[in-house]
């Protein structure tokens, strides 16, 4: 990790005064909203099957309070 940090810190040598960060390649991208559709029950079953712990229609999560 230390070697990795030492390596990436070399980037400070590049002169970037006045350069704008490149955050996205295309300026024409738009957020796409999916239709508000009801999913079939099968999908819920699949999601619950992937949960570490579940009970009936619920994912069991560790107690927080």
Partner 1 sequence: MNRRTVLETVKDIKSGKIRIKDLIQECIENIEKKDNTYNAFISLNKENAIDRAEKLQARLDAGEDIGILGGIPVAIKDNILVEGLKTTCGSKMLENYMAPYSATVINKLEENGAIIIGKTNMDEFAMGSTTKTSYYGETKNPVNIEYIPGGSSGGSATAIGTDMCMVSLGSDTGGSVRQPAAFCGLVGLKPTYGMVSRYGLVAYASSFDQIGPMGKTVEDVALTLQVIMGCDSKDSTSQFNLEKDYLSTLSKGVKGLKVGIPREFFTEDLEDSIKESVINAAKVLEDNGAIVEEINVGNTEYAVMAYYIIACAQASSNLARFDGVKYGYRSMNYESLGEMYDNTWKEGFGEEVRKRISLGEYVLSSGFYEEHYLKALKVRRLIWEEYEKHFEKYDLILSPVTKVSGIKLSDDVDSVKLYMDDLYTVSANLCGYPAISVPFGKNECGLPIGVQIMGKSFSEETILRAAFLLEQRNGD
Q: What is the C-alpha separation between 46 and 38, in angstroms, rounded?
A: 15
- 13 belongs to the binding site for partner 1 (CB under 8 A): yes
Q: Does 1 bind partner 1 (CB under 8 A)?
A: yes
Q: What backbone torsions phi and psi does residue 55 show, to the nearest 5 degrees?
A: -145, 120
- The correct pick among 52, 55, 56, 57 for binding partner 1 (CB under 8 A) is 52
Q: Does 16 bind partner 1 (CB under 8 A)?
A: yes
Q: Which of 40, 49, 55, 57 forms a contact with partner 1 (CB under 8 A)?
A: 49
């Amino acid at each position: 990790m230390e070697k990795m940090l030492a390596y990436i810190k070399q980037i400070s040598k590049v002169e970037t005064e006045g350069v704008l960060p490149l955050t996205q390649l295309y300026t024409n991208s738009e957020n796409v909203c999916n239709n508000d559709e009801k999913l079939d029950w099968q999908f819920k079953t699949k999601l619950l099957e992937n949960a570490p712990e579940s009970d009936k229609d619920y994912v069991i999560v560790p107690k927080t309070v």
